[in-house]
Amino acid sequence: MTTSPRTSYGAWLDLDSVLAAEALAVSGFDWVAIDLQHGEASRSSVLALLAAVQGRGAQAWVRVHADDLTTAAWCLDMGADVVVVPQVSSAAEAAAAVAASRYAPDGHRSWGPARAALRPAGTPAQRLVVMIEDVAAVEDADAICATPGLGGVLVGPADLTVSLGGRVPDDLTSDRTLDATRRVVEAASAHGLAVAAYAGDGRLVPAWRGLGIDTIALACDSGMVAAAGAARLAAAREVG
């Protein structure tokens, strides 16, 4: 994640495809997030996807399942730049996630960096990021962001909007969602943490930039394929 004026843009990888991962990395995205929570990738394919992304000069993020902190630690062993733990609703849950990612005395991660030991000198330190995406997490945002060792927070606007009683996609930029996100940004800023947010097809970018968020995930690979395919087909049909 970044705190520089330049916006850092990432892409979400739904497909379990080395080719798709590599294509996203070479297209200029700063980072690519491998999604084990909602995508089709699995633990057995993570290593190849990490290599594909990092080999093309982009950072590799991995989102794990909320209840699988063992895989979070393993992804760090495999050299992921950032590991994302979703559905963190309290400071206690944030502390548990961080503890799983750190060695004693700061945590209980087992020693075995494997591929992480091969990371080039000068590579930014690996980070554990938690997702804030419900009302309870917003209410506890200050305590979550105060968690020692936390590497940042990622706002999940869809689940947050639903938790606030709104609908997706209609209310993603409602006053309630924007106000909740603003509270997260303020809490993170108070503790020196950067905030990332998902922006789908990009229409949410102005809203997130307006709140001071400078690490933004754009659409997933499957969505990009569908949108590009539809656009190419529409263009072809215009000429016959």
The residue from 38, 65, 108, 191 that is catalytic is 38
Is-contact 18 226, C-beta < 8 A?
Answer: no
From residue 156, give the alpha-carbon distance in Å to each of 8, 29, 52, 134, 172: 17, 19, 26, 8, 10
Instruction: Let me know if 38 is a catalytic residue.
Output: yes
Backbone angles phi, psi at 175, to 5 degrees: -60, -35
Name the token pair of 174: 């409602």
Does the CA dihedral 154-155-159-163 come out positive or negative?
positive
Active site positions, annotated: 38
